[in-house]
Every structure is written in C-alpha cells, then in structure tokens.
Chains A and B, each alone.
Chain A
Amino acid sequence: MKVKELEAIMLEKFPDAPLSRDETGMTGALWSIIVPISGIRDATKAFWSAGFFLESITALDFEDTFELVYHFNCYEPKSRLVVRVLCGHDQVPPSICDIFRGAGWLEREVHDFFGISFSGNTDMRPLLLPEDADYHPLRKTFGKVSAYHKREEIYG
C-alpha cells in the first residue's frame, strides 16, 4: 500500500521524472525514479514519513555524469524502492543527513570513493580512507580501470 502512495507522491512532486517499474525483480526494487538533484531532500522526506529506512547510498561514475543511488526499504511489506540522482561531475547534491542521520556516514563514504561533496553535511572527513587522502579510488579515472562508459550505454 505504501508503495502505491509513495508512487503517487513522487509523481505528484516530480511530474516529469522517469519512473521505471521492475517486473522481473532483477533490481530487487519495485520501482526506481530519477529525481532532479534539488529534489532529493523532498523525496527523502516522503520516504521518512512513510516509514522507510535508508538501506544504502552509493554512486556510479559515468563518463558524462555521476549517478547517486539511494536504496530505501521498508520493514513491512517487502518494498525496496530506489531513488536516483544524476549529478554532474562538478555538481554538489544536498545532504540528507538531517532526515536520516545514518546517511551522514554513507555520504562520507561516497565522498571518500567518488569525491562528491554533499552540501549540508558538516562532517566530510574521510571515513574509510586515510585522513590525508586526496584521491577518490572508485572514480573511473583512478588506478586500473576496465571500462569507462556513458550512462546510456548501460541503461540503454
């Protein structure tokens, strides 16, 4: 039920955001939505008030853009939902660490690995990397890399 409600809320908030349902269950999520970079806080607030918890934040590095992937999950019923944010290589997305306090560390981790800073998260010390690390190892420009694609090459 929550899923339907949230879907309505999302579509209302972001009318032209592409929402893709997953019938195969491959992605483990019921649907995923790409929201504009400024809308992530609104979307997150909706998830928080619907009783969801934040499962993970991660990022993907594409040639043209970063993609932030937020996995939200709910205790009951099974309903994992995904919110994506396309964030240019020089853009700074807003932090959601005041909505989900656990997001603070997750954002720090993303900052470690990809160099994406989050505005509003005051604690941006390296989390997993050494204190003086000035490199971002999961960027496709760091170290040994097998491929560097544009986003549409994968999502078609």
Chain B
Amino acid sequence: MAEQDRTEEYRRIYSLNLGPQHPSTHGVLRILLDLDGEYIVKADPIIGYGHRGHEKMGENRQYKQFLPNSSRLDYLSGMIFNHGFVLAVEKLVGIEVPERAQYIRVIASELNRISSHLLWFGTYVMDLGGFTPFLYAFDDREHILDILDSVSGSRLTYSYCRFGGVTRDIDRNFIDMTRAFLKRMESRWADYDDLVTKNIIFIHRTRNVGAINPELARQFGVTGPNLRACGVSFDVRRSEPYEVYDRLDFEVPTGSNGDALDRYYVRFKEMQQSCRIIDQALDLLPGGDFIAKKVPPKLSPPKGEVYAAFESARGLSAFYLVSDGSPGPYRCHIRVPSFGNLNVLNEVLPGTLVADAISILGSIDVVIPEIDR
C-alpha cells in the first residue's frame, strides 16, 4: 500500500466482514463491522442474500396457493405464520371457523412457539460457546416436531392450516403426546436453570449487554420478546386477541433492563406460559368440526384490504392483503418482526466487543429468511 494512505485513522480502524458465512450469523446475514481493536465503532447489517420475492409470488398466486409460502417465511415458526395467513384470508372472505379448529390452531401455534424458542435457546447458548444445552434443547424440540408431524405430516414447513380450519383433526394420540411433552418439560426447566440460567459465566456474558431502552425500541419498531424485555408489556395475543386467546389465561412476561439477559428470561418464561396455554386449550378443547363445511374451493373475496396481525415467536407479524375481487391478492405485504429487531443493531452494536456482538445478535433472535422474504 502507498505510504500516504497510512494515516492515523487508517491504521486504527479496520473493517471486518462478519458473515455472510459465519458460524453465528444464523443464516446469510452479513454485518460490516468497523473495529478499533476488538471494539465495534460502526455496524452495518447487510441483508437480502435470501430474498425470494414472496410478496411478488403472493400477487401472482391464488390465496390458497400462497399457503406453502407462508410457512417458509419464518421457517422456525412456520405454523404461526401459516396460521396468520389463514387468519388474514378468513377475515377478508368472512369465513366462520369452527371452535374446535380454533383451539387446534392455538395448540399447534403454541407448540411451534416453544419449538422456536427452544431452538433459539440452544443456538444462543451455542453462540456463547456452550455446546451441550444446544443438543438438550434439540432433544426436547424433537418431541414437538414429532407431535406436529403426527398431525400435519410435516416437521418444519407445516401447511397445516386451511381457510376455515385445519387439514386434519387431532386425535387421542396427539393429545397424549402433548400431555407427555408438557410433563417432560416440567423437569427440564430445572435442568436448564442449573445448566444455563444460573451459570455465572452465562450471566456475565449477558448482563448489561446490548441493552435496548423502550424509546429506542419504539424508534425502530422492535416487537416481541425483545420489546417485552425492555419492560413494555405488549403482546398481540393480549392487545388484539385472535382465535381463542382471550379465553385462555396466560401472563405476558416482561423484563426491566432490556439487555440480553432479560431477553433470555422473557423467552424462557414465555415457553412456560406457552405450556400453560396448551394445557388449558387441551382441557377446553370442544368437539365439532375441524374445518368449516362451506368453504368454496375457489375464493372470491370482496374488494378491499385486510390487515391481520398476530404474534409470531419473534414479535408482531402481519399479513396485509389488498383484494381486487379476483382469486388472488392485488398486493400481499408481510410485516415481519425480525426486520425492526435487526435494524436496531445499528444503534446497539457500536461500543461493544466482537464477542458481545455475537451475544447481542443471538439474543435478538433474528431469522434472516423472514427479513429477506
């Protein structure tokens, strides 16, 4: 390099490409870091490596043909997004969903939420260097996948919900497996507490790391567990309850500092609350149809728009559909929670260490394909 380039500034600050292929970026995310030693001066997340054009696809497909796409946005909470999409279309067309189907969807969604949080739990501890909790979490998650597999026939991209219900009724076997799983988890929480939550190394790695205050969260539209960790009790399941969530008793756990440790606590408690919801929903499960009888195979919705918000494992998600009366949407916009959650990294990362950057990125729990759409 030329001698005149070697200014003081040039020598101090150097840039590091974190990703797109890096063990801890959870998909193809690239963060361009400007570093001073190991301290981050500036962070610029670069996204879009996994852009598949779901919104354009939505415009060119009939409503039901978009069903498989909805599971593939956020592949970790595929059931919830699937659920959200049918909610939007049912609202648009005006389909009455039988009560049993609503309960089944809630149970499936909550199971999916636990599986998503378990995966997050495992990978987050792995980001911090602890490999073993990852496999314990996957062992538990496997049970959920088995349960959902037994009813939807698929383990990750479920396509289980249909307009007006679900594809398949749940049976005795499903209920027994779910109950057994809930029972199993009761003993697992204590293990996770001993192994991770109480661990002094873990606490030091997460406490006061990457704190987001409510003001910053509002600026960037941060939602979900990340927002609740700041102390804001905002949950779509509570504020605008869909399906039967208003009949179920559950808490919305909140933190206080908004740091990585609080985000961890909130997600951890959320898993326990989800278990509670499933337990109640199984008790309350009514008989009846699992899918509405009179749903025409070809939908013809009225002109207009619909905005259906729902709480995915990562926060407030929504489908915004504009109908021109044809069997497919005129515009299909998807509001994804990770978008705002990742955006906040621009503000949170500067001033922290590279090791903290990994910890913060992990604790925010982004799913990159969801952002890229």
Given contacts A26-B304, A27-B306, A53-B221, contact A73 B55 (CB under 8 A): no
Q: Residues of B contacting A71 with CB < 8 Å?
A: 307, 318, 320, 335
A127, B48: Cβ atoms closer than 8 Å:
yes
Q: Residues of A contacting B316 with CB < 8 Å?
A: 55, 73
CA distance A58 to B222 in the complex (A): 17
CA distance A71 to B306 in the complex (A): 12
CA distance A66 to B15 in the complex (A): 39
A28, B309: Cβ atoms closer than 8 Å:
yes
CA distance A146 to B62 in the complex (A): 10
A 48-90 contacts with B by CB, 8 A: 51-56, 58, 60-61, 69, 71, 73, 75-78, 80, 82
CA distance A54 to B48 in the complex (A): 21
Given contacts A26-B304, A128-B372, A154-B303, contact A105 B53 (CB under 8 A): no
CA distance A155 to B324 in the complex (A): 9
Does A23 reach chain B (CB closer than 8 Å)? Answer: no
**Which of A10-18, A38-46, A136-144 contacts the other chain?**
A136-144
B219, A101: Cβ atoms closer than 8 Å:
yes
B333, A144: Cβ atoms closer than 8 Å:
no
CA distance A58 to B219 in the complex (A): 17
Q: Residues of A contacting B309 with CB < 8 Å?
A: 28, 80
Does B240 reach chain A (CB closer than 8 Å)? Answer: yes
B 37-63 contacts with A by CB, 8 A: 47-48, 51, 53, 55-56, 59-60
* Complex partner residue of B234 from A76, A82, A104, CB under 8 angstroms: A76
Interface string of A95-118 (1 = CB under 8 A from B): 000001110111000000100000
A137, B56: Cβ atoms closer than 8 Å:
yes
Q: Residues of B contacting A60 with CB < 8 Å?
A: 322, 330-331
Q: Residues of A contacting B222 with CB < 8 Å?
A: 102
Total inter-chain residue pairs, C-beta < 8 Å:
121
* Complex partner residue of B221 from A54, A58, A126, A145, CB under 8 angstroms: A54
A137, B53: Cβ atoms closer than 8 Å:
yes
CA distance A73 to B236 in the complex (A): 11
Q: List 17 A-B contacts (CB under 8 A).
A: A26-B91, A28-B306, A28-B307, A28-B309, A53-B217, A54-B221, A55-B318, A76-B233, A82-B307, A102-B220, A105-B343, A106-B339, A127-B47, A145-B59, A147-B330, A153-B303, A156-B303
CA distance A106 to B343 in the complex (A): 10
A-B pairs with lowest CB-CB distance, top 7: A28-B307, A102-B220, A128-B48, A75-B234, A56-B335, A58-B333, A53-B218
Q: Residues of B contacting A154 with CB < 8 Å?
A: 303-305, 322-324, 330
B219, A146: Cβ atoms closer than 8 Å:
no
Does A124 reach chain B (CB closer than 8 Å)? Answer: no
* Complex partner residue of B92 from A26, A80, A106, CB under 8 angstroms: A26
Interface string of A17-38 (1 = CB under 8 A from B): 0000000011111000000000
Q: Residues of A contacting B60 with CB < 8 Å?
A: 144-146
Interchain nearest-CB distance for A80 vs B (Å): 7
What count of chain B residues pass the 8 Å CB interface test?
A: 47
B 276-334 contacts with A by CB, 8 A: 303-309, 316, 318, 320, 322-324, 326, 328, 330-331, 333
* Complex partner residue of B240 from A78, A138, A153, CB under 8 angstroms: A78
Q: Which residue of A lies closest to B220 (CB)?
A: A102
Given contacts A27-B306, A75-B232, contact A102 B219 (CB under 8 A): yes
Does A92 reach chain B (CB closer than 8 Å)? Answer: no
Does A149 reach chain B (CB closer than 8 Å)? Answer: yes
- Interface of chain A, main secondary structure: loop
Binding site for B on A (CB under 8 A): 25-29, 51-56, 58, 60-61, 69, 71, 73, 75-78, 80, 82, 100-102, 104-106, 113, 126-130, 137-138, 143-147, 149, 153-156
B92, B306, B328, B347: most-surrounded residue (chain A CB, <10 A) = B306
B 51-83 contacts with A by CB, 8 A: 51, 53, 55-56, 59-60
Does B105 reach chain A (CB closer than 8 Å)? Answer: no
CA distance A128 to B368 in the complex (A): 11
Does B100 reach chain A (CB closer than 8 Å)? Answer: no
Does B267 reach chain A (CB closer than 8 Å)? Answer: no
Q: Which residue of A lies closest to B218 (CB)?
A: A53
A78, B372: Cβ atoms closer than 8 Å:
no
* Complex partner residue of A28 from B53, B217, B308, B340, CB under 8 angstroms: B308
CA distance A80 to B233 in the complex (A): 16
CA distance A129 to B56 in the complex (A): 13
Interface string of B236-262 (1 = CB under 8 A from A): 000110000000000000000000000
B219, A105: Cβ atoms closer than 8 Å:
no
Does B373 reach chain A (CB closer than 8 Å)? Answer: yes
Q: Which residue of A lies closest to B214 (CB)?
A: A75
A146, B240: Cβ atoms closer than 8 Å:
no
